Amino acid sequence: MEKKERALVIKKELERLYRNPKPPLNFSNPFTLLIAVLLSAQCTDERVNIVTKELFKKAKTPKSMKALGVKTIHEYIKTCGLAPKKSKAIYETSSILIKKYNSKVPQTIEELVTLPGVGHKTASVVINQAFGQPAFAVDTHIHRLAQRWKLTNGRSVEQTEKDLKSLFPEESWGELHLQIIFYGREFCLARKCYGLECKLCTTLFPKRRSKVITNKA
């Protein structure tokens, strides 16, 4: 089966399993999405939703978030990984949004990645889920599965993103980002399957007998 054929099989199965997938992080506007995605680094979505439930009651805008101060922000998010660093990043990002962007979240990846704590993946999620722009954010699950399915060589996250964008239609990138993540969490886990057990791995590679060792993101 050629790479493009595999991509079609994958897309069809993911659409069957996860039709119209919804973002796992709770947010009400572009700013709260930005903060939620920033918090999700080295933290589960479930934990992020728990801490932001209370945080967003107090602050849903850059101005109200800055008013809390670093220490208070930390009190709300202290159960998230890297909380001290994230508290400072959230405060500084809020300050920059107020001063430079009139309290609005910028709508380009180039501008977003200049904000403290915001990397390419976070920026990609924001422009797609908040503003509807095409983007294919690659996280650890996507990077792992793309290698197990031989859609990329896994040399880097940037290469994986480039390869996936070339295989799937632009209008599907946002949904596929979520669908692959959900599949990786449910069926093709990091310490399970290894390219040998789940339905997609066995369908795509019925003769595979050796574990697939993937490069980490």
Name the residues annotated as catalytic. 121, 139
Cβ burial, residue 70 (10 Å; 0-12/13-18/19+): middle
Cβ proximity of 22 and 175 under 8 Å? no
Angle at alpha carbon of residue 165, lines to 5 and 13, rounded to 5° = 45
Please name the residues in contact with 189: beta carbons below 8 A apart, sequence gap of 6 or more: none
Joined together, the tokens standing for residue 24 give 């796992």
- DSSP letters, 80-113, are STTHHHHHHHHHHHHHHHHHHHTTPPPSSHHHHT
Number of helices (H), then strands (E), in the chain: 11, 0
Q: Give the gyration radius of the chain's Cα atoms.
A: 18
Residues 6+ apart with CB under 8 A from 69: 91
| 88 token code pair | 């400072």
CB 87 within 8 A of CB 74: yes
Dihedral angle of Cα 148, 206, 168, 107, to the nearest 10 degrees = -30
